[in-house]
Amino acid sequence: MKRIKNYIFALVLFSCTVGVAQQLPQFTQYMYNTISINPAYAGSRDALSIIGLHRSQWVGFDGGPITQTLSIHTPLRNDRIGLGLTFIEDDLGPENYSYLYGDFSYAIPVGVEGRLAFGIKGGFTQYSLDADFRNYENFDPLIRGIENRWTPNIGLGVYYSTNKYYIGISAPRVLNSDRNKEQGFEALERVSYYATAGYVFDLASKLKFKPAVMVKATNGAPMSYDFTGNFLFNEKLWLGASYRMNKNTGAIGGLMDFQISRQLRLGYSYEKPISDIARYTSGTHEVLLIYEFKFLSSKLKSPRYF
- Note the pTM of the prediction, 2 decimals: 0.86
Please give the pLDDT value at position 251: 93
Please give the pLDDT value at position 20: 41
3-state per-residue secondary structure call for 116-158: EEEEEEEEEEEEEECHHHHCCCCCCHHHHCCCCEEEEEEEEEE
Q: Which residues pair with residue 277 across a beta bridge?
A: none
Radius of gyration of the chain (CA): 20
Average pLDDT over the chain, rounded to an integer: 84
Q: Please give the CATH number for the structural domain made up of 2-296.
A: 2.40.160.40
Indicate the Cα dihedral angle 55, 57, 63, 68, nearest 10°: -10
Q: How many other CB atoms are there within 10 angstroms of residue 1's CB atom? A: 7
Band of pLDDT at residue 179, cut at 50, 70 and 90: low
Domain spans, the chain: 2-296
Please give the pLDDT value at position 8: 44
Parallel, antiparallel or unpaired: strands 224-233 and 192-199? unpaired
pLDDT of residue 18 exceeding 60, the answer is no
pLDDT of residue 132 exceeding 90, the answer is no
Band of pLDDT at residue 87, cut at 50, 70 and 90: very high
Q: Which residues pair with residue 293 across a beta bridge?
A: 48
H/E run at residue 247: none
Please give the pLDDT value at position 108: 96
pLDDT tens digits, 245-281: 987 778 999 999 999 998 899 999 999 988 877 787 8
